[in-house]
Amino acid sequence: GAVVSQHPSWVICKSGTSVKIECRSLDFQATTMFWYRQFPKQSLMLMATSNEGSKATYEQGVEKDKFLINHASLTLSTLTVTSAHPEDSSFYICSASMGLVNNSPLHFGNGTRLTVT
Amino acid sequence: KQEVTQIPAALSVPEGENLVLNCSFTDSAIYNLQWFRQDPGKGLTSLLLIQSSQREQTSGRLNASLDKSSGRSTLYIAASQPGDSATYLCAVRVSNTGKLIFGQGTTLQVKP
């Protein structure tokens, strides 16, 4: 089945530094990837939609200059948290879609636990 | 604006019981509805996907139903096992972009 790999699975960084998270589709080409954020004991909130070869579409309230998304190939999207602060500590999860196929399930990575000290 | 609600937020049952998790959504204009399982600190595992034109889907001990007109879905788990303990999330797909709106989840504990 379709596999989405996310790396790293956890990262601890100091306040003010930047962190890059990778999301790869291992056995299919993902024209669209999605980045979600999950706070403890809460549900997933969509941050942005990443389209290969074009600019990402951000949800309302998400700072595009803080959460930089790059979808340079059909199998890789990256999320960079710039100048991270403790309030950015969260669980970040990506998902991938095999094109705009509405009857296909979305596949998720295992998430990245970010802790900013 | 689409909102997804799951009830109950938490559920504890003895092993062997059959149980039902509920999911409701406010806008019936959905493409499909997907149920996921999330173990602590992990990503999401897709359990069942129901298209908007379908009424139910089954996989093993799991059965999901969809009543789009009333904005409801249920996930039925038969003969629950301790390994079923996890958080169950439902999500509706609201556009052809694949965007999902998630409920808050139901955390299930199955006691041996």
A39 falls in which pLDDT band (50, 70, 90)?
A: confident
Asked whether the predicted pLDDT for residue A83 surpasses 70, the reply is yes
Query: Residue B74: which residues within 8 A CB-CB, separation 6 or more?
Result: B20, B21, B22, B23, B64, B65
Q: How close B18 gets to chain A, by Cα (Å)?
A: 25
- Measure CA A9 to chain center: 12
Structure tokens at B45: 């595992």
pLDDT in tens, B54-75: 999 999 999 999 999 999 999 9
Q: How close B3 gets to chain A, by Cα (Å)?
A: 12
Cα distances from A98 to residues A12, A85, B96, in angstroms, run 32, 34, 12
A81 within 8 A of A19, measured Cβ to Cβ:
yes
Top pLDDT among B1 and B82 is at: B82
pLDDT of residue B98: 74
A46 falls in which pLDDT band (50, 70, 90)?
A: very high
Structure tokens at A62: 């998400």
Contact A105 B34 (CB under 8 A): yes
Contact A102 B93 (CB under 8 A): yes
Top pLDDT among B17 and A96 is at: B17
Lowest mean pLDDT among A31-35, A83-87, B7-11: A31-35
B98 contact A CB<8A: yes
Contact A34 B100 (CB under 8 A): yes
Chain B residues inside the 8 Å CB shell of A34: 98-100
Nearest to B103 among A43, A110, A111 (CB): A43
DSSP classification of residue A56: P
Q: Which of B6, B88, B34 is nearest to A102 (CA)?
A: B34
Top pLDDT among A102 and A53 is at: A53
Contact A93 B51 (CB under 8 A): no
Cα distances from B10 to residues A59, B13, B22, B50, B79, in angstroms, run 29, 10, 11, 23, 18
Q: What kind and span of H or E run contains B105?
A: none
A102 falls in which pLDDT band (50, 70, 90)?
A: low
